[in-house]
Amino acid sequence: MPTDIDKLRARQARVAARLSSAGRTVAATRDPGTIAYLTGVDVRGFAGRGAAAVIRAEDGLSILIVSEADRPLVEAAGAAGEVRYWALGREAAASRERELDAAVSGPFSAAADAEAQRLLDLAMRSKDDDEIARVRAAADLADIGYTAVVDRMTPDLRVLEIVRNVDRSLLAAGGGGWWSPLERPEGAGLLSHYPIESIVVLLGRGVETGVLDPAATLPFVLHPLSGGYAAAAGTTVVLSPPSAHVRSCAEALGAAVQAGVGALAPGASTAAVHAAFASALGDAVPLDELDPVIGYDLGTGMGGMLIDAAGRDVLEPGQVVTIRAAVPHLGGSGVAFQTTALVTEAGAEVLTQVVPMRLVELY
Amino acid sequence: MNHVPTVSLTAGAEMPLVGFGTHPLRGDDARDAVLTALEVGYRSIDTATRYRNQDGVGAALAATPVPREEIFVTTKLPPDAVGHERPTLEDSLAQLGVDHIDLWLMHWPPGGSAGVRSWREMIRAREEGLVRAIGVSNFRLALLDRLEHETGQRPEVVQLQWSPVHFSPRFLEVNRQRGTVVGAHSPFRSARLDDPVLVRIAADHAVTVNQVIVRWNVQHGVAVVPKSARRERIATNLDVLGFQLDDAEMAAIDGLSELE
């Protein structure tokens, strides 16, 4: 039975092979998901901002660079590889830069360029059995988190009470970690996120009031981690009857998500998935009113593959993809649906099984 | 084998006062636990669409030698099924492999409301014989009143998290007066199992604290659904008919309530 360290070494070896074949000796990243993949340490809750990781092609070993403030968290995580700490206090920024450069034996920025992240994304794309099991567990947590939101929903809840209900349910189910698409520039869409650092995120709320408006739509998404791996699922609650327009748009958005998932298959291009999505959407919601982020791959966070009309990536078995359809402002706070699927040899398997791609009518 | 006492519901169904709770067991674990429960004498099984184990419960119902008509099957409608009640019921029937549900509960108040729209569909399902009895779970008294006011039909059962710390004589009495049976889910999870009062009473009767809690519910006429995945505990939780709590003991346990 491979240990967690064995599994980490296997991931590092895949990355090292990818770097070597591309002629690179080193790659560096500040992306929290990639750091987790390379080091086995989730830095999202760390106090010191700007954590980074480096991996060498020569031996596949990684270096984690974090603030001295986070030494207890690193030790608690059981980090297996080299860790470099930058100093606290007035010298923190300069110390961090020195440690980053020392970790790559040169300018950190050159090792953390876009090409490095692209190679890392490619190495992380297809999942082994252990990784898929972790994603499945995260998807199960997303389903549990959904029930925690919906079953206990009342119009007089405060937003942070919803967050607490989800946290409590997921901790009881063995989860608790969160990730966010906002960790990557391409993950930001038109619907605002609140809270950002949370498993459950309410979408499109504009100026955050902290209380619910029963007359407005309530779109939300869940971003749980299990064993360091991510899933995503979202839907929209209405606490009073929606208008016919909102209802028809929501039906089209749900159908678009289903069509996008239906188009996931080995050998399919991301552009083909987008085309299926757009076709199902029809004229009900103009594409230019849609949030442009309609899908991407998942792993230890958001991956580097986007589902869009110009996408040339080709899907392969073992990839995990989330598909989403969202329209800002519709019904007040917008309408959004999101699900997560695994690309299999035969097609795709939806991993989030409970979250409905339709309006959840709670009244 | 001990015969578990039953209570008559208003539409005529007979509900055992001790049932087997299946949350959070899934798949083969749920099937195996339900088979064990039926083997040791349970005749009431409590599941829910939300538990995602109706397939496992159904597998046990198919495999057990106990006849279907001797088993009281409860499942629950999730709150997000408003407008989708019938397909949800049909899915439950298919997964459980049965042609009717003995008790169908609305699992949570949809959005905190009484769920009148769903309740009307549940009444219709009872009229059509797809379910024998209908009720609610995790509802306040005011919401039960609302359902009755809107439809003329009061829930036959109200299930809620109920243990000595949740004991409410008013809730119990009002429901008794109005013909609604109180059901207890999570009877151990929410209890203080190391409470000296419970420990002492258990020792006096040479039983476990869990058995005392089940027995206390039975004597109050509360339908309780203890859950365990371990055979010994599954059997022990049902073995509550060999002792009786006296009035002083019942009052002492009632006194553990932490409600205002």
Give the closest-approach CA distance of B244 to chain A in angstroms.
Answer: 35
Distance CA(A76)–CA(A43), nearest Å, equals 12
Residues of A in contact with B80 (CB under 8 A): 150, 356, 360-362
- Please give the positions of B annotated as active site: 51
Give the closest-approach CA distance of A162 to chain B in angstroms.
Answer: 12
- Prediction pTM value: 0.93
**Residue range of the domain that includes A44:** 4-123
Q: What ipTM, to 2 d.p.?
A: 0.89
CATH of B12-254, one of 3.40.720.10, 3.40.50.10320, 3.40.640.10, 3.20.20.100: 3.20.20.100
- Torsion on CA atoms A307, A313, A319, A320, rounded to nearest 10: -10
Digit-by-digit pLDDT tens for chain A (363 residues) are 668 899 999 999 999 999 999 999 999 999 999 999 999 999 999 999 999 999 999 999 999 999 999 999 999 998 889 999 999 999 999 999 999 999 999 999 999 999 999 999 999 998 999 999 999 999 999 999 999 999 999 999 999 999 999 999 999 898 879 999 999 999 999 999 999 999 999 999 988 999 999 999 999 999 999 999 999 999 999 999 999 999 999 999 999 999 999 999 999 999 999 999 999 999 999 988 999 999 999 999 999 999 999 989 999 999 999 999 999 999 999 999 999 999 999 999 999 999 999 999 999
- Is residue B42 within 8 A of residue B56, CB to CB? The reply is no
Q: Per this entry, what is the length of chain A?
A: 363
Residue ranges of the domains in chain B? 12-254
Domain end marker among A123, A152, A170: A123
A69, A144: one domain: no
Domain end marker among A123, A144, A171: A123
A108, A137: one domain: no
pLDDT at B237: 96
A106, A141: one domain: no
Query: pLDDT per residue over B202-242, tens digit each?
Result: 999 999 999 999 999 999 999 999 999 999 999 999 999 99
Buried b (16+ CB within 10 A) or exposed e, A157-181: bebebbbebbbebbeebebebbbbb
Residues of A in contact with B108 (CB under 8 A): 151-152
Question: Which residue of B80, B83, B111 is in closest CB contact with A154?
Answer: B111
- Torsion on CA atoms B27, B32, B38, B43, rounded to nearest 10: -20
A168, A242: one domain: yes
Distance CA(A102)–CA(A292), nearest Å, equals 39
CATH number at residue A140: 3.90.230.10
- B78 in contact with chain A, both atoms CB, cutoff 8 A: yes
Query: pLDDT per residue over B184-194, tens digit each?
Result: 999 998 899 99
A59, A147: one domain: no
A75, A151: one domain: no
A167, A306: one domain: yes
**How many structural domains comprise chain A?**
2
Give the closest-approach CA distance of A355 to chain B in angstroms.
Answer: 10
A115, A26: one domain: yes
- B108 in contact with chain A, both atoms CB, cutoff 8 A: yes
A296, A178: one domain: yes
- B146 in contact with chain A, both atoms CB, cutoff 8 A: no
A60, A152: one domain: no
- B126 in contact with chain A, both atoms CB, cutoff 8 A: no
**CB spacing of B110 vs A353 below 8 angstroms:** no
A162, A117: one domain: no
Domain end marker among A123, A153, A181: A123
**CB spacing of A363 vs B82 below 8 angstroms:** yes
What are the backbone dihedrals phi and psi of residue A95, each rounded to the nearest 5 degrees, phi first? Answer: -65, -40
A252, A283: one domain: yes
Residue with tokens 């070896």: A13
- Residue of A144, A149, A151 to mutate, interface with B, max B Cβ within 10 Å: A151
